[in-house]
Structures are given as C-alpha cells and as structure tokens.
Amino acid sequence: MSAPRSTDYTAFRDDLLHQSPKEICAMFGRVARRYDVMNHVMGGGLDIYWRWRLARAVAAQQPARVLDLATGSGDVILALGRHRAYTESALGADFCLPMLQQAQAKGARNLLVGDGLHLPFPSASFDALTIAWGLRNFADRLAGLKEMRRVLRPGGRAYVLEFSHPPSWLAPLYFWYMRDIMPKYAQFITPERGAYEYLADSIRAFPPQATLASMMREAGFSAARWTNFALGIVALHVGEV
C-alpha cells in the first residue's frame, strides 16, 4: 500500500470536526474504559515519555497550586504527583464525567467536572496550568487560552502538550497514516472507530506550532515558546504570564 500524494491528506470529515461539545463529550465517554490502552498502543508508549517531559517542566517551576485542565483519565495529574511538581495541591478538571471516573479509579483526587471555556475559579487562582491533548477539543481555542490566562497568577505558566505538525516532508505520510490506517487498527481495541477518525482530523486541523504560540500571546500571555518531540508530531508549548 502506498501513501497518497501530498494534496490528499488535507481532506477532512467535516461532520466529525464540527460536532457540538455535548457530542464530543459523549464520544469520549464511550471510549473512556479503553482510552489509556489505545493511547499507549497509538504512541508506542511514547505518550508516557511526553507526559514525563511535561511533569519535569512543571517541576522546574515549582508552583504551589496547579490546575490540570482536560484531565481525562488522570495520567497527567498523577504524573505531576509522582514527580512532586507542585508544593501545595493539584486539581483536575474535565467536561466528561466517565473520563474523570477512570481517573478516580486510578487514584487521582481533587477532580471536578468543568468547562474549559468557563472555569469555576476566581482570577489568579493557580501558579501553573497543564493541559495535555485537550486544547484540540475546545469549541473556541482562543477563548480557552484566555480563560487559562485568567486563572493564572502573575508569574504563572500554562503548559500545553498537544499533537502538532511535523515538517513538510513528513506531513503527507503522517496524516495519511492518522486518517486512513490508525482508525482501522483502533477498532480492534475499541468499537468507537469514529473517535479516532475525529482524532486524526482534529490533529490535522489544529494550528501549527508558530500559530499556536501567536494565539497564546493574543490571549494575554507575555511570552510563548515550544519544544518539539518526535519531529514535531507532539509539541510542548509554554505560555508565561
């Protein structure tokens, strides 16, 4: 089987990309029990390394209070605890209750159901905010970044770990794999193939690294930088208040 021409990988499933927040929440709820297994298989275990890099970056800051947004099944908030990345407390928020129930079953605590566009916290509540593979799912990413900026204290930082864009020579092959191959073997682990078709298209539609950094500055962060992993397939963005 040969990869398609570079022009082919731009096709999207518009019905998947334009689902409502309620529909996306329901989709994640359906895959919650198999979510961790699929992530490990898809990433070849590298997702563990990427979360370690995130936790290490937060630990270097030594914040007192951390908010882990889109906490999902809890792997990031648990990693922050293992690496002693905060001095007081970490709180996890997600809009999908079944995902939080998986996190709780794994030992995560201080969890709440919350909308990333309307966080139930006063301004300047946290020293650091983390979000891993969640910003793609926001209905309004710029509004979400502004809300992250609002709840951070002066000197705080937002850490955004997200699938991103590899270099142009790799992009056609990568997005072809994500769109046409990965959902096919995902269905052997979970029957919710549509969730992984959505994943592939949402990654392709996500802003590239420089654009996201510009959005973070537009949202009110004084500075924004990023570090690429796996040739830019994943990037860790850091926004400073």
Taken in order 29, 145, 87, 60, the sign of the CA dihedral is positive
| Residues 184-238: tens digit of each pLDDT | 766 666 666 566 677 778 888 899 999 999 999 999 999 999 999 999 999 999 9
Pick the more confident residue, 39 or 3.
39
Topology (CATH level 3) of domain 13-240: Rossmann fold (3.40.50)
C-alpha span between 37 and 28 (Å, rounded): 14
| Residues 109-147: tens digit of each pLDDT | 999 999 999 999 999 999 999 999 999 889 899 999 999
Tokens found for residue 21:
């927040």
- The domain spans of the chain are 13-240
What burial class does residue 97 get, using C-beta atoms within 10 Å of its C-beta: 0-12 exposed, 13-18 middle, 19+ buried? middle
Please tell me the predicted confidence (pLDDT) of residue 131.
98
Tracing tokens 């566009």 back to the chain, one arrives at 117
Cβ neighbours for 148, distance < 8 A, ≥ 6 positions apart: 69, 116, 129, 131, 158, 219, 239
| Residues 165-179: tens digit of each pLDDT | 999 999 888 888 877
Please tell me the predicted confidence (pLDDT) of residue 21.
60
Give me the mean pLDDT over the 94-98 stretch: 87
**Mind giving me the DSSP string for 55-121?**
HHHHHHH--SEEEEET-TTSHHHHHHHHTT--SSEEEEEES-HHHHHHHHHTT--SEEE-BTTB-SS
pTM of the model: 0.84
What burial class does residue 14 get, using C-beta atoms within 10 Å of its C-beta: 0-12 exposed, 13-18 middle, 19+ buried? exposed
Please tell me the predicted confidence (pLDDT) of residue 137.
86
Please tell me the predicted confidence (pLDDT) of residue 43.
62
Please tell me the predicted confidence (pLDDT) of residue 7.
36
